[in-house]
Each structure stands twice: as structure tokens, then as C-alpha cells.
Amino acid sequence: MESPWKKGTTMAITAQQLVAQAKSEISNLSVEEVARELEGDSVTLVDIREPDEVRRDGSIPGAVAAPRGMLEFWADPASPYHRPEFDPSGRTILYCASSGRSALAVQALQSLGYTDIAHLEGGVKAWKEQGRPVTYQAP
């Protein structure tokens, strides 16, 4: 059987095109929409940036830190690495620095059965540009 990944079997696209495609298929929330949802208790906000980004740029208060490389393992209830903060049946909002990684991550979690999921368009950059609060970890 020939591998589906064999060179020349599919037309390659760029990362930018992949992100644009993801954003056309998922729920993209504005800063205002995310802020409104955070006023309630029924949302899990997930920061998928790397720890050095979080230390440098701060995070949205109340966010669960889940670096992109571990997200699927922590979010999958069948994984030995599953963390209880992740619930496929609950409302989940992801964010990253500017929204590319979080758009792709939403699609990954949808594949794991997450149905009430979205991401913050513009990421923490947009959040901060609109004067919203961030918290910083002690060094």
C-alpha cells in the first residue's frame, strides 16, 4: 500500500492558508465576547502559548496554561496525561499570542469531541491592546 504522505500526492499549502481555513470553520470570538463569557463561571479559558511567552507577556486572569505541544494529551479524557480542567462537554475558549495556533488547536480539540469550543481572535495581543487585564508570573 502506498503512503498517503508520499511526495506529490497532495498539493501543499502554507501555514497561513491552514490557519485561514481553520478560522473559516470555527468560532472566532472578539475580545468583548470573551470578556463577557468570562463574567460567568461556565467557561474554561486555555492559554496555549509556551511558558516563556506567558512569563514575558502575561496571561489573561483565570486562564489554564496548556502549552500547545501538550494540549491534546491534557485535553483527551482517554489519555494518561488528562487534566481535570479539560471537559469535552464544557465551554472552552483557547487563545495564543495572536490567534493562529489557537485556531488550529480548536480544530484539534473538535477532533477529540469538544463541541462548545472557540478561540480569541487576535489572541492575548488583541486583549492587551484593548486595555484588558493580564497577570504575570513571578520569575
Task: Give per-residue pLDDT as tens, 42-84.
Answer: 999 999 999 999 999 999 999 999 999 999 999 999 999 999 9
**What does the pLDDT read at residue 3?**
46
Q: How far apart are CA 14 and CA 83, in angstroms?
A: 32
Cα→Cα distances 99→1, 20, 84, 110, 114, Å = 38, 10, 24, 17, 18
**What does the pLDDT read at residue 45?**
98
Domain definitions of the chain by residue range: 27-129
Q: How far apart are CA 102 and CA 45, in angstroms?
A: 11
Confidence label for 111 from pLDDT (cuts 50, 70 and 90): very high
Homologous superfamily of the 27-129 domain (CATH): Rhodanese-like domain (3.40.250.10)
Q: How far apart are CA 9 and CA 16, in angstroms?
A: 21
pTM over 0.85: yes
**What does the pLDDT read at residue 1?**
47
